[in-house]
Structure 1
Amino acid sequence: MGGFSGHNLAFTFGLLGNVISFFVFLSPLPTFYQIYKKKSTEGFQSVPYVVALFSAMLLMYYAFLKTNATLLITINSFGCFIETIYIALYIFYAPKKVRTVRLLVVMIGGFGLILILTHFFAKGPIRVHIVGWICLIFSVSVFAAPLFIVIPNVLGFVFGIIQMVLYAMYKDSTKKVVKDQKLPQIQVIVVKEDQKLPELAEQVIDMVKLRAMVCGTDAILDPLPNGHGMSAAFAVAKPNMEVPVTA
């Protein structure tokens, strides 16, 4: 182990990183083979490939500014080449090409802005440090992007468990409070109409008798079909008058 210097270790790990990055750049090949076979992008998005191209361009610019960065130049040159092919295939088969082209234009414009600002407003080692920090922040942002999905879902999961635990703890106490409360008693008095039927029957009989006395008619009282009362059936009036007949 004593024979390895810092330069050798850096070269070894840099070469290992290039090998891993090479396979990372080739990982979308099955996806684009499927796109080529079906002649459609289906539900795939172009954002990862545009971002990968932007990252490779930044790192290659940093490698040109930094001396003795052959490994960075080689792997990121390959990255720019393969990502450009991916984006071209995506635009060719995408039904909505405007969004991808717009995103690509924004990416190229952003890279050009960084290139101009660092070239004219920073010199020497300061420029290298600024570009290095830009590459670092961008790389961390790319890897931390899924946290925008993970963090809200994790917090929602935790708060959901807390709510269920609190509900399980206090659901019985609410029932006890309801039982302890003395609700006002409501008395309902139901008056049955059957109790008034005899009185109504007597009133009907009196009215029939009175009518018979006044009009001189014969009234026949029949029970109602339901048996609860009396109904009066009045016959045709028989006036007490005689009509003289002449021969």
Structure 2
Amino acid sequence: MAVEDTVRTVLGIIGNVISFLMFLAPATAFYKICKWRNTRGYSGFPYVMTILNCALWVLYGLPIVKPDSILVSTINGIGLGIEIIYTLIFLIFCKDSKTRLKMLGLIFLISSFFAAVTLSTLLKFHDHKKRYTTIGTICIIFNVFMYASPLSIMRKVIREKSVKYMPLYLSVAMFGNGLIWTAYGAIHFDINLVLPNGLGAGLGACQLLLYAVYYRTTKWGDDDQKPAVEMDDKPGVGLNDNGYPRPLGAGHDGV
């Protein structure tokens, strides 16, 4: 048991590092926004939804909900802070008042939803199993939705026979991130971690396969280097500026 716990801790630390790097992926886009002092074609809605996702996983990993899962809370707590910074930058430089108002309204809604989930779960349920089952189910729903977002990129790759807009390092990170957190959840079997991260690892593997298949047919011109999905404004889809899901979570454990 001690060996299993040690291995699980090591996997959790590795997962924290990988997830942290994935959280930083959109930083280049926000550097551009700060430089332009304008959000231009970028959407801020995915970052607001990522705030909710991270907050839910922070709650899930707390000892009062899921004992021995604090590493889930640590990375999502860091991610929560990063996503809040991204959102604040977007709000500061957004020139469209309607978009700003919509984002503020969404922030109010997700804050109310998170407060309702937290209070109802902690006050209604007094044992860990019911608490982590309820919150874990909600987290799974958000993560499955998040991990489905790269399907549009994969479809574009197949249609155009080009991996120009599917960066290799993000595909590798997505695969490794999902794999690490799946293993972490499997040691003390936790379906709430295994299911969404197993899906993430599977999609990451599919992207790597597509990369291998279509690499040679890709035309690497310099004529169009903008992200493939930088104008996506679908609430709930946690995309970074390359059209990939951000770890919402420890692997997200998002885990």
TM-score normalised by structure 1 residue count: 0.56
1:70 deviates by: 2.8
Query: 1:77: Cα distance to partner?
Result: 1.4
Cα RMSD for the two superposed structures: 2.6
Counterparts of 1:78-227 in structure 2, within 5 Å, are 78-96=78-96, 97-124=100-127, 125-147=129-151
Identity of aligned residues (%): 30
Name the CA distance, whole Å, in 1 between partners of 2:29 and 2:151: 24
Assess, with a 3 A threshold, how the Cα gap between structure 1 residues 150 and 21 changes in structure 2: closer, same or farther: closer
Measure the CA separation in 2 of the matches of 1:142 and 1:26: 17
Report the AA paired with residue 30 of structure 1: T
**1: distance between equivalents of 2:74 and 2:2?**
24
Post-superposition Cα deviations, 1:88-119, rounded to whole Å, max 9, x if no partner, equal: 01000012211111111111111112112212
> Residue 32 of structure 1 corresponds to which residue in structure 2?
30
* 2:139 alignment partner AA: C
1:14 aligned counterpart, secondary structure = helix
Relative to structure 1, is the Cα distance of residues 30 and 150 closer, same or farther in structure 2, using a 3 angstrom cutoff?
closer
Partner residue, 1:195: none
Aligned 1:220-235 pairs, distance under 5 A: none
Gaps of 5+ in 1: 155-247
| Structure-2 change in CA distance of 1:95 and 1:119 (3 Å) | same
Query: Aligned letter for 1:46?
Result: G
How many Å separate the matches in 2 of 1:58 and 1:138? 10
The CA deviation string for residues 64-93 of structure 1, in whole angstroms up to 9 with x for no partner, is: 122222312221111111111110010000
**Which of the residues 57, 60, 63 maps onto 2:61?**
63
Tell me the TM-score normalized by structure 2: 0.54
Q: Which runs of 5+ in 2 are unaligned?
A: 159-255
- What amino acid sits opposite 2:5 in the alignment? H
Distance 1:41 1:149 in 2: 22
Amino acid at match of 1:17: G
Pick one of 49, 66, 78 that aligns with 2:47. 49
Q: Which has the higher strand share?
A: 1
Give 1 or 2 for the bigger CA radius of gyration. Answer: 1
State the distance in 1 between where 2:110 and 2:151 align. Answer: 22
What letter corresponds to residue 85 of structure 2 in structure 1? I
The one of the two structures with greater contact order (alpha-carbon pairs below 8 A, sep at least 6) is: 2
Q: Give, in angstroms, the shift of residue 61 of structure 1.
A: 0.5
